[in-house]
C-alpha cells in the first residue's frame, strides 16, 4: 500500500473521518474525472508537506490538516509538476519517481476518484509555516498581481496591487458603469460586450444579481458561462439561486461550470 498526504482545511476533518475525501478537484488531464491532489509521504517532513503554505493562502481561518491516505500499489494516478502535462502511473510508481527526484518541490499526484473512509489512515495537525508560497524559489522575485495569481483578502494584497498594478487586471469599473454597458449591448446583447462586462464583474465580491439574472437566458452559451464565473464567488442575495438555475442549463459546459461553483444545497 502506498501512503500519501492530502492537505485540507481543518473544518473538513470531521467530514473526512465520517465519509472520506470527496472528489471535487479537476486534474491537469481534462479527460479524467474529478478527484483529489496529494503527495507521497517522504522521509523529509518539509517536502512531504511542501504545498501547505501555498494552499493555506486559500484555506480556512483554522489552518490546514494533513490527511494520510493508503492506496493500493496498482491504483492508477497521475504525477507531474504543476502547470505541466502529467503522466499516468500506478501509486507505487508515483512514490518511487518522486522519492528519486533530487528536487521534488512543485510536483503533485492526482487521484481521479474519491477516497473512502477506510482508506483514510489518520488525520493530524501540521506546522502551518511549512513549505513554499507562490512557487518554489519564489523568495526574492516580484509577485504577480494578475487576477489569477492574487488572493482576495490576503494580508497586504491591496497595497501590493496599488504599488504594482497589473496592465490587464487593473481595478474594475464601477458596478453602475458595468450595468450600463450591459444595457448598451442591446437585446439579447452582443456576446463579446457582455462577456467583457461579466469579466470585470467577476473581480467583485458582490454585485446586482437581479440586473444580471436575465443573462441566464441569453442564447449564446459563452455569455451564460461568463455569468457563472462572474457570480460564483459573490455573497449577494440571489447568487446561489442563480447558480443552481444555471446548473440546469441545456449546455453541458455551462452546467459543469455552475455545478462546480454552486454550494451544496
Alpha helices in the chain (DSSP H): 13-19, 45-48, 52-56, 91-100, 157-163, 175-184, 191-201, 209-212, 221-231, 239-246, 252-261
Q: Is residue 135 part of a domain?
A: no
- Residue range of the domain that includes 196: 175-261
Q: Are 84 and 26 in contact (CB under 8 A)?
A: no
The tens digit of pLDDT for each residue in 81-92 reads 988 889 999 999
Walk across the sheet containing 64-71 and list its strands.
Answer: 87-90, 76-81, 107-111, 36-40, 2-9, 64-71, 120-125
22: DSSP letter: -
pLDDT over 90 percentage in the chain: 66
**What's the pTM value of the predicted model, to 2 decimals?**
0.60
User: Comparing 9-23, 31-45, 151-165, which segment has the lowest mean pLDDT?
Assistant: 151-165
The tens digit of pLDDT for each residue in 161-211 reads 777 777 666 667 889 999 999 999 998 999 999 999 999 998 888 999 999
Q: Are residues 94 and 208 in the same domain?
A: no
Q: Is residue 131 part of a domain?
A: no
Mean pLDDT on 23-47: 92
Q: Is residue 238 part of a domain?
A: yes
Q: Is residue 130 part of a domain?
A: no
Strand, helix or coil at 211?
helix
Q: Are residues 25 and 120 in the same domain?
A: yes
Q: Are residues 206 and 231 in the same domain?
A: yes
Q: Are residues 103 and 31 in the same domain?
A: yes
pLDDT confidence of residue 148 = 66
How many structural domains is the chain composed of?
Answer: 3
Average pLDDT, the chain: 89
pLDDT confidence of residue 181 = 95
Q: Are residues 166 and 188 in the same domain?
A: no
How far apart are alpha carbons 251 and 221 in whole angstroms? 7
Q: Are 175 and 236 in contact (CB under 8 A)?
A: no
> Of 197, 199, 174, 200, whose CA–CA distance to 185 is shortest?
197
Q: Are residues 53 and 167 in the same domain?
A: no
> Residue 23 belongs to a domain with what CATH number?
3.20.170
Q: Are residues 95 and 163 in the same domain?
A: no
Q: Which residues pair with 35 in a beta bridge?
A: 25
Q: Are residues 120 and 9 in the same domain?
A: yes
The tens digit of pLDDT for each residue in 234-253 reads 989 999 999 999 999 999 99
Amino acid at each position: 500500500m502506498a501512503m500519501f498526504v492530502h492537505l485540507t482545511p481543518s473544518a473538513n476533518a470531521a467530514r473526512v473521518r465520517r465519509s472520506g475525501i470527496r472528489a471535487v478537484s479537476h486534474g491537469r488531464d481534462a479527460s479524467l474525472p474529478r478527484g483529489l491532489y496529494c503527495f507521497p509521504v517522504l522521509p523529509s517532513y518539509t517536502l512531504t508537506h511542501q504545498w501547505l503554505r501555498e494552499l493555506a493562502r486559500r484555506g480556512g481561518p483554522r489552518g490546514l490538516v494533513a490527511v494520510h491516505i493508503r492506496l493500493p500499489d496498482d491504483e492508477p494516478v497521475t504525477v507531474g509538476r504543476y502547470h505541466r502535462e502529467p503522466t499516468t502511473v500506478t501509486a507505487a510508481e508515483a512514490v518511487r519517481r518522486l522519492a528519486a527526484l533530487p528536487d521534488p518541490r512543485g510536483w503533485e499526484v492526482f487521484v481521479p476518484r474519491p477516497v473512502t473512509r477506510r482508506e483514510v489512515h489518520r488525520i493530524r495537525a501540521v506546522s502551518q509555516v511549512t513549505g513554499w508560497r507562490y512557487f518554489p524559489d519564489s523568495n526574492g522575485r516580484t509577485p504577480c498581481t494578475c487576477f489569477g495569481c492574487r488572493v482576495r483578502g490576503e494580508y497586504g494584497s491591496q497595497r501590493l496591487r496599488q504599488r504594482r498594478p497589473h496592465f490587464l487586471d487593473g481595478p474594475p469599473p464601477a458596478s453602475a458603469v458595468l450595468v450600463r454597458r450591459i444595457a448598451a449591448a442591446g437585446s439579447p446583447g452582443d456576446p463579446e460586450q457582455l462577456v467583457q462586462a461579466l469579466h470585470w464583474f467577476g473581480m467583485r465580491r458582490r454585485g446586482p444579481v437581479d440586473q444580471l439574472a436575465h443573462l441566464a437566458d441569453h442564447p449564446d452559451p459563452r455569455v451564460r458561462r461568463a455569468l457563472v464565473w462572474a457570480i460564483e464567488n459573490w455573497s449577494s442575495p440571489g447568487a446561489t439561486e442563480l447558480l443552481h438555475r444555471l446548473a440546469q442549463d441545456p449546455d453541458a459546459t455551462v452546467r459543469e461550470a455552475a455545478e462546480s461553483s454552486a454550494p451544496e444545497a
